[in-house]
Amino acid sequence: MKILKKLNKKVALVTIWGTVLVSWLILGVIFFATESTTVAVIVVTIAAVIAESALWLSGLLLAMGLGMALVDARKNIWKLIFRARG
């Protein structure tokens, strides 16, 4: 936990969400490059796990920065996401 407190949060978030972006770009390429449904299902699963991990890691960074529980931080992230959409 001490390592995460010293970590530059902006760089960490850019790295986390950059990884998600790359996974979704690879997902798009796989959909157009292959006709195999097995490969597509595997890539979708990997992209979903990466995206979910990014949400949890972002919540952890937010929770540590604001001194709140991880569950509350995750609720705040979802509120921000849906407020931006609507």
* pLDDT computed for residue 55 by the predictor: 85
* pLDDT computed for residue 47 by the predictor: 92
* pLDDT computed for residue 72 by the predictor: 74
Angle (CA) 55 61 63, round 5°: 95
Domain span at residue 76? Answer: 2-85
Write out the E strands in 8-55.
none
Q: Which two tokens stand for residue 60?
A: 């952890």
Q: How many residues are there in the chain?
A: 86
> Domain total for the chain?
1
User: Tens digits of per-residue pLDDT, 32-80?
Assistant: 898 888 998 999 999 999 999 998 888 777 777 666 676 776 777 778 8
How remote is the C-alpha of 47 from its chain's centroid?
A: 9
